[in-house]
């Protein structure tokens, strides 16, 4: 069973987005992009590097470059329990 996003965020995971620029298998002079996004742990980024290894081992288009950003959206000290809610129309 996969863990919830909130559970991952409370464990220190953050949203990692990577842009992979790769060469087309049949036309090596043509570059294309692929965007990958998942929750990952900084600074080691195990999920990102696992995906890059998968790409290099299993896919035909060789990687040209990889750019990525990481944003930790919530930390353990930022979590608050909300007991009420007001709606305003």
**Residue 42 domain flag:** yes
Q: The tokens 């305003």 sit on which residue?
A: 88
CA gap 19, 69 in Å, rounded: 9
**Residue 78 domain flag:** no
**Residue 76 domain flag:** no
Distances (CA, A) of 2 to 34, 39, 56: 24, 12, 26
Q: Please say whether the beta carbons of 7 and 56 come within 8 A.
A: no
Single pTM value for the model: 0.77
Q: What is the pLDDT of residues 25-66, one digit of tens each?
A: 999 999 999 999 999 999 999 999 999 999 999 999 999 999
What range defines the domain where residue 19 resides? 5-71
**Residue 86 domain flag:** no
């Amino acid at each position: 069973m996969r863990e919830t996003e909130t559970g991952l965020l409370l464990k220190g995971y953050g949203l990692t987005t990577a842009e992979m620029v790769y060469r087309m298998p049949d036309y090596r002079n043509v570059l294309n992009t692929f965007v990958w996004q998942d929750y990952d742990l900084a600074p080691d980024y195990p999920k990102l590097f696992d995906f890059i290894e998968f790409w290099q081992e299993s896919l035909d288009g060789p990687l040209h470059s990889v750019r990525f950003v990481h944003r930790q959206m919530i930390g353990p000290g930022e979590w608050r329990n909300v007991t009420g809610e007001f709606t305003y129309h």
